[in-house]
């Protein structure tokens, strides 16, 4: 598994053109069972000093990035067909890919139309180039959420909790909650309003993700919530923004979960059932298993059960391209550090305590 670093952006002050080398080489999303935001070619010539934010539904604007009128930005996508926002590249910002309102500039098909020279502009790759990066945003950030299922089930009456037994996979392993493309708020890409409304009512009424029999079997074990339609919900809400089909989205999710469950992190939890584990211990277990500094990308979530504080979930930051059988360490270290969440809690045993 490897991490492809973001290439530097190129700035052409004489023309006001800002171009990201990465943007010219990546097509955000391709064909799959769920369509994401429509991919766009061309540029946008800014006419207003609009805020450029990582997420449409959040006003958070790291670096207070704004468009510069007269500057030309490469277009990447639109939030939906005939939508309200464009995704553009803002070189030097972190992250570089930002959403802006469509009224902030004029779309132009070429650099010449935008008033800039083409001499230093890299052409986009030919359509249909068969490479993995065409379907997934190389270098994109994500969070994988893993439940400690006995703690979750202490306060849940869902079918997967009623059926939990001491010899089931999730009694002594982390269970998959989901793999969430970032930034926060990047959800339901290309999903109809009807399905979004259905998602709020009954997950089992949602269409099932298209999976091979082998992947479905593995997912049913690793994600007990499939009994409640969690796989359907996670695919629509998060998987449609991942840039692949459902098969690869869940295979990648399972790959990360498998690595964590094969590590000293899972050994720490399974060996301390009924006892307390601190956040520092969990982070140190990640450092020992995946390398120094990886624990700083881990966050714990706890929940109260009467007078007990239970560790119910671990979230782990990743950045890059998940590939089968490779080392997770570079992907974890490429993600930003996070606050650690709760200070620790009890590793719960199966059954109501």
Q: How far is CA 275 from CA 34, 46, 117, 154, 307, in A?
A: 43, 58, 66, 16, 14
Q: Residue 97's pLDDT is what?
A: 84
Give the span between the Cα atoms of 217 and 318, in whole angstroms: 25
Q: Which position has the higher pLDDT, 56 or 224? A: 224
Whole-model pTM? 0.63
- How many residues are listed for the chain in this entry? 353
119-166 per-position pLDDT tens digit: 223 333 333 333 343 345 445 899 999 999 999 999 888 999 988 899
Q: Residue 26's pLDDT is what?
A: 37
Specify whether the CB–CB gap between 263 and 290 falls below 8 A: yes
Give the span between the Cα atoms of 220 and 231, in whole angstroms: 9
Q: How confident is the model at residue 267 (pLDDT cuts 50, 70, 90)?
A: very high
Q: How far is CA 108 from CA 99, 276, 283, in A?
A: 17, 59, 49
* Least confident window among 66-75, 171-180, 289-298: 66-75
Q: Which position has the higher pLDDT, 10 or 207? A: 207
Q: How confident is the model at residue 75 (pLDDT cuts 50, 70, 90)?
A: confident
Specify whether the CB–CB gap between 141 and 90 falls below 8 A: no
- At residue 44, the 3 state secondary structure works out as strand
Q: How confident is the model at residue 209 (pLDDT cuts 50, 70, 90)?
A: very high
Q: How confident is the model at residue 184 (pLDDT cuts 50, 70, 90)?
A: confident
Q: Residue 199's pLDDT is what?
A: 96
280-327 per-position pLDDT tens digit: 999 999 999 999 999 999 999 999 999 999 999 999 999 998 988 878
Q: Residue 41's pLDDT is what?
A: 67
| All domains in the chain, ordered by first residue | 1-123 (no CATH), 141-346 (3.90.730.10)
Q: What angle do CA 245, 232, 39 make, to 5 degrees?
A: 35
2-47 per-position pLDDT tens digit: 333 333 443 333 333 343 333 333 334 333 333 445 556 678 889 8
Give me the residues paired with residue 315 across strands. Answer: 145, 299
Alpha-helix runs per DSSP H in 225-263 = 230-237, 246-261
């Amino acid at each position: 598994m490897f991490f492809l670093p973001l290439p530097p952006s190129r700035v052409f002050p004489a023309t006001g053109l800002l171009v990201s080398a990465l943007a010219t080489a990546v097509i955000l999303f391709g064909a799959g069972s769920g369509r994401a935001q429509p991919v766009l070619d061309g540029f946008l010539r800014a006419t207003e000093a609009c805020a450029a934010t990582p997420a449409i539904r959040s006003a958070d604007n790291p670096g207070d990035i704004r468009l510069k009128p007269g500057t030309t930005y490469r277009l990447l996508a639109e939030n939906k067909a005939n939508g309200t926002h464009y995704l553009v590249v803002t070189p030097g910002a972190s992250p570089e890919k930002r959403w802006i309102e469509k009224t902030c500039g004029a779309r132009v098909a070429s650099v010449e139309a935008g008033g800039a020279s083409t001499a230093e502009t890299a052409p986009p790759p030919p359509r249909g180039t068969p490479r993995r990066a065409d379907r997934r945003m190389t270098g994109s950030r994500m969070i994988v959420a893993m439940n400690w299922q006995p703690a979750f089930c202490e306060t849940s009456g869902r079918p997967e909790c009623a059926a939990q037994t001491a010899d089931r996979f999730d009694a002594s392993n982390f269970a998959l909650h989901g793999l969430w493309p970032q930034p926060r708020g990047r959800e339901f890409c290309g999903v109809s309003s009807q399905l979004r409304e259905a998602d709020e009512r009954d997950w089992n009424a949602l269409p099932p993700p298209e999976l091979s029999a082998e992947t479905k079997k593995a997912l049913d074990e690793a994600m007990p919530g499939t009994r409640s339609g969690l796989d359907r919900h996670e695919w629509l809400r998060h998987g449609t923004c991942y840039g692949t089909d459902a098969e690869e989205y869940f295979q990648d999710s399972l790959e990360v979960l498998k690595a964590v469950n094969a590590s000293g992190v899972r050994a720490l939890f399974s060996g301390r059932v009924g006892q307390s584990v601190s956040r520092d211990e969990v982070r140190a277990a990640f450092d020992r298993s995946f390398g120094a500094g990886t624990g700083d990308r881990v966050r714990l979530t706890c929940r109260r059960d009467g007078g007990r504080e239970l560790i119910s979930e671990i979230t782990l930051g990743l950045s890059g391209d998940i590939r089968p059988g490779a080392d997770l360490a570079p992907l974890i270290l490429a993600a930003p550090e996070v606050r650690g969440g709760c200070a620790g809690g009890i590793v719960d045993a199966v059954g109501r305590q």
